[in-house]
Amino acid sequence: METLLPSASPVRFVAEDGTRVDQHGEYAEPARDRLEEAYRLMVLGRRFDVQATALTKQGRLAVYPSSAGQEACQVAAALALAENDWLFPTYRDSVALIARGLKPGEVLTLLRGDAHCGYNPAETRVAPQCTPLATQTLHAAGLAHAMQRRGEDAVALALIGDGATSEGDFHEALNFAAVFKAPVVFFVQNNRYAISVPFEKQSAAPALAYKGIGYGMRSEQVDGNDAVAVLAVLDDAVKHAREGQGPVLVEAHTYRIDAHTNADDATRYRDAGEVAKWREADPLKRLETYLKDDLTKNDIERYQQEAEEFAQSVRDTLNADAELDPMSLFDHVYAEPTRQLERQRAALEAELEA
């Protein structure tokens, strides 16, 4: 049982002021080149997030759930995976997809309202961004088990919000994965709020990481604003799952700086002082300070310039009107279209030709 327990306090390598702390047990610190790559992607991700938020105000996106403050979690999730591994994101995990190498137009297709998914999951090994809470956990567990049965050397990582841990699907997925020792990592980004519901009104557990113990699953908790710690813990969790030792539940303690989406007024349920406190724990600034002996001023300016150029590409992509084919509505509904679907297709085709 002791091997399943998470650390008594969240795993941590770096304090809020960027200094090193010894609160990481036996976890190995990631190599400096990986940490610098994490920093580069966090700079890129934050600029992408700001740009996407601005595009909602211009009517170019229907909605955008900001990732501000959660960049360490999302970038580490992408970096911890090998090319052949699978990522199962939620609607809030656009930065993870950017870090995984997807193009902004592909990532924002769903949030623009053009299609349910803007990329090929089979080619990218990234499942469609999931809006219903926790359903992607079942998909991740099932796919991981299937890969295991086929003898594939691959792991699935499911990104989850704290609110999703209150859903039945989450618990079914953990139970299934643990029983069959599926190679899957469940990564909970506990950003303290499920829309307007604070964490203390969602769960009486001392930490969400403890929920894994009841299923016989190894669990861990980590400071989600410490990119070094998050990457170290996820590296270890992915290795554990890949080696056939079973699934892992990881909880990252982080914070959603912006509102739930651009349609939400977060001032109605939390005060400015709370937000200001968490801004001081900024994961990007913390990692930049920690890497001060490795990052030159030219490096930082180069990454910022890359981020600005990336933001321009996002604007160019979203400012162009999408070329949509109404008949694509019928694609990918069933492997073999039903007679009813074929009739609907024919009816729409006739209406468009009229």
Determine whether 269 is an active site residue: yes
Pairing of strands 12-14, 20-23: antiparallel
Q: Hey, what are 27's tokens?
A: 């976890």
> Which string of DSSP letters, residue by residue, matches 191-254?
-SEETTEEGGGT--SS-GGGGGGGGT-EEEEEETT-HHHHHHHHHHHHHHHHTTS--EEEEEE-
Pairwise CA distance, residues 110 & 52, whole Å = 13
Beta carbons within 10 angstroms of residue 277's beta carbon: 11
Residue of 269, 270, 315, 345 with catalytic role: 269
Pairwise CA distance, residues 322 & 302, whole Å = 31
Pairwise CA distance, residues 129 & 141, whole Å = 16
Determine whether 256 is an active site residue: yes
For residue 130, give the 3-state DSSP assignment: strand
Determine whether 240 is an active site residue: no
The answer to whether 79 and 321 have CB atoms below 8 angstroms apart is no
Name the DSSP class of 132: S
Across the chain, where does the E strand assignment appear? 12-14, 20-23, 86-88, 156-161, 184-190, 193-194, 197-198, 218-223, 248-253
Residue of 92, 145, 253, 260 with catalytic role: 260
Pairwise CA distance, residues 255 & 224, whole Å = 8
Q: Hey, what are 236's tokens?
A: 């270890």
Query: Which residues are identified as catalytic?
Result: 256, 260, 269
